[in-house]
């Protein structure tokens, strides 16, 4: 609990109703979309950069931790106040300040919802490319903090490839603009350092992003495969043929069954796996690319290929993919999810390992992931009410992530390290690597008050904790 005098300081900055310190109300902000939970001492609802700056200055003066928070859709515990302090909520900062149709850029506040930006840009024939599955809820500020991905990032790139500059508030409360309009930045790329820093280096208050022209033609194809291995080989074959689709997504039989039961999108439930492939560009190009894709898929045992004939049919296919993880709640009420990444050529090996691990621990595993860039999403399904299953879930999750690393992969493709994978950072990085990262942290946040306890291993948090809610598919996370 913060001293009453500090609460009053905060209320003078943002207004009495914009500071929450009631124990019951604080529970609303104790977690993000992960399972990690910890109550903040107070929640401050900031509406301007000046307010964010002033709040952080108060926190610095009293040595209080600050955790910037967006929509709370993060999947690695990044917005959880594990050391108490202030949850600095910025979702009231949701103005689209400018859309420059000539430069094809947008200047937005951090609370702008991802999909709202593309909808606003669409009237100008533009769109914002990064499209996480949570894009109807997640915010641009949170996307920048986590360097979020999405199905279409195979071709278009992740968030950092679309952020041109940001206004940020550092740990001392000072306000700075980093980088500029050019993607070819000269000198130290501070924007590149801060995008993906998970709130540990700054609070983001404005973001300038690149917009793209809406392609004149889009083709979306669903294809079935007898096994997840044959589908994996097809993915590698497409890329080897020199084709880089706008999106290349995979779902296994377990996921397809859950999705089809909920969305009735026409997914073939007899398939071992399905691929959702999308190409875009001018009409002639998309026809040629899709024809080449069909040829490669057929050569790799693809069947029951179905191309969307209308925008509504395309939207339904994508609704099934983007709602897939939620649909898994029809099978089990809880799930534990990793987002490790492997080279595309290693997909068959790592998926085989994931299957063997699930069988060894007698746990159902549903795979739905960005196959084109090797970004896995194995969902270990379980029922938290069975407390005896937790050791199996914990062991399976660690072994899957270890398999990813041993095959030359990385710990996270888009969800961030946060609390979930911090203990595993030494698997990938040497002590010198971690020290270099921590020196950057200390240079920008001397007292370690911005989102403390995230990313780096913490010897005091070696245990594993799995907790959850029933009735919805939710994630269980590593501490």
Question: What string of pLDDT tens digits covers the 479 residues of the chain?
Answer: 899 999 999 999 999 999 999 999 999 999 898 877 899 999 999 999 999 999 999 999 999 999 999 999 998 889 999 999 999 999 999 999 999 999 999 999 999 999 999 999 999 999 999 999 899 999 999 999 999 999 999 999 999 999 999 999 999 999 999 986 655 666 788 999 999 999 999 999 999 999 999 999 999 999 999 999 999 999 999 999 999 999 999 999 999 999 999 999 999 999 999 999 999 999 999 999 999 999 999 999 999 999 999 999 999 999 999 999 889 999 999 888 889 999 988 999 999 999 999 999 999 999 999 999 999 999 999 998 888 898 898 889 889 999 999 999 999 999 999 998 999 999 999 999 999 999 999 999 999 999 999 999 987 765 444 443 233 333 333 22
**CATH class held by domain 4-89:** alpha beta
pLDDT at position 475 is 38
pLDDT at position 182 is 59
**CATH code assigned to 96-213:** 3.30.465.10
In this prediction the pTM is 0.90
Q: Would 217-327 and 332-461 be classified into the same CATH topology?
A: yes
Q: Which fold has domain 332-461?
A: Alpha-Beta Plaits (3.30.70)
Q: Which fold has domain 217-327?
A: Alpha-Beta Plaits (3.30.70)
User: At a CB cut-off of 8 Å and minimum separation 6, what does 396 contact?
Assistant: 336, 357, 358, 360, 361, 363, 365, 380
Domain ranges of the chain: 4-89, 96-213, 217-327, 332-461
In this structure, what token pair is assigned to residue 427? Answer: 């698997």
């Amino acid at each position: 609990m913060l001293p009453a005098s500090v609460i009053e300081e905060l209320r003078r900055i943002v207004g009495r109703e914009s500071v929450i310190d009631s124990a019951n109300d604080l529970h609303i902000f104790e977690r993000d979309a992960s399972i990690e939970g910890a109550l903040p001492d107070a929640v401050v609802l900031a509406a301007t950069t000046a307010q964010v700056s002033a709040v952080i200055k108060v926190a610095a003066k009293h040595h209080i931790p600050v955790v910037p928070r967006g929509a709370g859709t993060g999947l690695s515990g990044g917005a959880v106040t594990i050391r108490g302090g202030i949850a600095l909520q910025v979702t009231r900062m949701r103005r689209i300040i400018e859309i420059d149709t000539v430069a094809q850029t947008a200047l937005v506040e951090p609370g702008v919802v991802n999909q709202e930006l593309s909808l606003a840009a669409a009237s100008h024939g533009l769109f914002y490319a990064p499209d996480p599955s949570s894009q109807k809820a997640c915010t641009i500020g949170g996307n920048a903090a986590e360097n979020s991905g999405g199905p279409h990032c195979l071709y278009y790139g992740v968030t950092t490839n679309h952020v041109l500059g940001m206004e940020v508030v550092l740990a001392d409360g000072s306000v700075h603009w980093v980088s500029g309009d050019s993607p070819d930045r000269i000198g130290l790329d501070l924007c590149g350092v801060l995008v993906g820093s998970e709130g540990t280096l700054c609070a983001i208050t404005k973001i300038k992003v690149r917009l793209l022209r809406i392609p004149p033609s889009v083709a979306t194809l669903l294809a079935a495969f007898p096994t997840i291995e044959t589908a994996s080989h097809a993915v590698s074959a497409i890329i080897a043929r020199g084709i880089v689709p706008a999106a290349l997504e995979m779902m296994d039989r377990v996921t397809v069954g859950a999705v089809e039961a909920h969305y009735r999108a026409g997914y073939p439930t007899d398939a071992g796996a399905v691929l959702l492939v999308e190409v875009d560009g001018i009409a002639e190009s998309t026809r040629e690319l899709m024809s080449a894709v069909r040829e490669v898929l057929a050569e790799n045992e693809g069947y029951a290929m179905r191309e969307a004939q209308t925008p509504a049919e395309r939207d339904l296919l994508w609704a099934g993919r983007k709602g897939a993880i939620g649909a898994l709640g029809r099978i089990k009420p809880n799930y534990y999810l990793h987002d490790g990444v492997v080279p595309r050529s290693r997909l068959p090996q790592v998926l085989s390992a994931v299957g063997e691990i699930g069988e060894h621990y007698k746990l159902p595993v549903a795979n739905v992931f960005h196959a084109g860039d090797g970004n896995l999403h194995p969902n270990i399904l379980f029922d938290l009410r069975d407390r005896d299953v937790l050791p199996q879930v914990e062991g399976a999750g660690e072994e899957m992530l270890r398999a990813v690393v041993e095959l030359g992969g990385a710990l996270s493709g888009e969800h961030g390290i946060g609390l979930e994978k911090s203990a595993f950072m030494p698997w990938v990085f040497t002590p010198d690597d971690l020290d270099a990262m921590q020196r950057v942290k200390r240079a920008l946040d001397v007292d370690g008050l911005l989102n403390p306890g995230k990313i780096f291993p913490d010897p005091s948090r070696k245990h594993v904790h799995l907790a959850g809610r029933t009735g919805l598919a939710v994630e269980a996370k590593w501490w």
